[in-house]
């Protein structure tokens, strides 16, 4: 069924269930599991006004540290499932397209992501990385909804 599963992490608490779910699928299907963190392109983010008081370099360094912690936590969540943990820069792309680029480069046939499940105004204002991946992906995307 699935040979290579990519599970994304952004360093927030909602990722844990998605990583555990992907690890379970990986073990059951004997599939390769890759834990992926994308470092957003700070120049792109700063130009959109999301981080005004720090430099692009400081911002990317902070995001990289957050990603390293997320990958470490993800390895703990995967508990026994062999995985490859990758941190990649967005390189001028938005995060959803960077996820898709990396999934394609890895020949992934399933992407697993956590979702906040926001609706209404919060969704309109904040957007959804997961939704954008779902709409643009060439492979199935499994969304694991965060339940606080």
Residue closest to 38 by CA, chosen among 6, 80, 1, 16: 6
According to the model, what pLDDT value does residue 124 have? 53
How are beta strands 141-145 and 110-115 bridged, if at all?
parallel
User: Residue 3 to residues 47, 106, 119, 130: CA-CA distances in angstroms?
Assistant: 38, 11, 33, 21
Residue with tokens 């959804």: 128
What is the 3 state secondary structure string of 36-81? EEEECCHHHHHHCCCCCCCCHHHHHHHHHHHHHHHHHHHHHHHCCC
Do 15 and 73 touch, CB atoms closer than 8 A?
Answer: yes
Model pLDDT for residues 56-83, shown as the tens digit of each residue: 677 667 767 776 776 677 666 676 777 8
Model pLDDT for residues 11-40, shown as the tens digit of each residue: 777 888 898 899 999 999 999 999 998 988
Residue that wins the pLDDT comparison between 108 and 40: 108
Model pLDDT for residues 110-131, shown as the tens digit of each residue: 999 998 766 665 555 445 888 8
What domains lie within the chain, and their CATH numbers? 4-145 (3.40.50.620)
Whether the predicted pLDDT of 94 surpasses 50: yes
């Amino acid at each position: 069924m699935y040979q290579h599963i990519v599970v994304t992490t952004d360093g927030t608490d909602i990722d844990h269930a998605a990583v555990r779910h992907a690890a379970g699928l990986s073990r059951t299907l004997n599939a390769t599991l890759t834990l992926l963190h994308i470092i957003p392109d700070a120049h792109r983010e700063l130009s959109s006004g999301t981080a005004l008081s720090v430099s692009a370099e400081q911002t990317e360094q902070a995001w990289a540290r957050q990603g390293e912690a997320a990958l470490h936590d993800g390895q703990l969540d995967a508990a026994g499932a062999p995985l490859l943990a990758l941190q990649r820069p967005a390189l001028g792309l938005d995060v959803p397209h960077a996820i898709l680029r990396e999934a394609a480069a890895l020949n992934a046939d399933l992407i697993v992501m956590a979702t906040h499940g926001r609706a209404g105004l919060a969704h309109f204002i904040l957007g959804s990385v997961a939704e954008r991946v779902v709409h643009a992906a060439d492979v199935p995307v499994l969304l694991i909804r965060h339940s606080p």
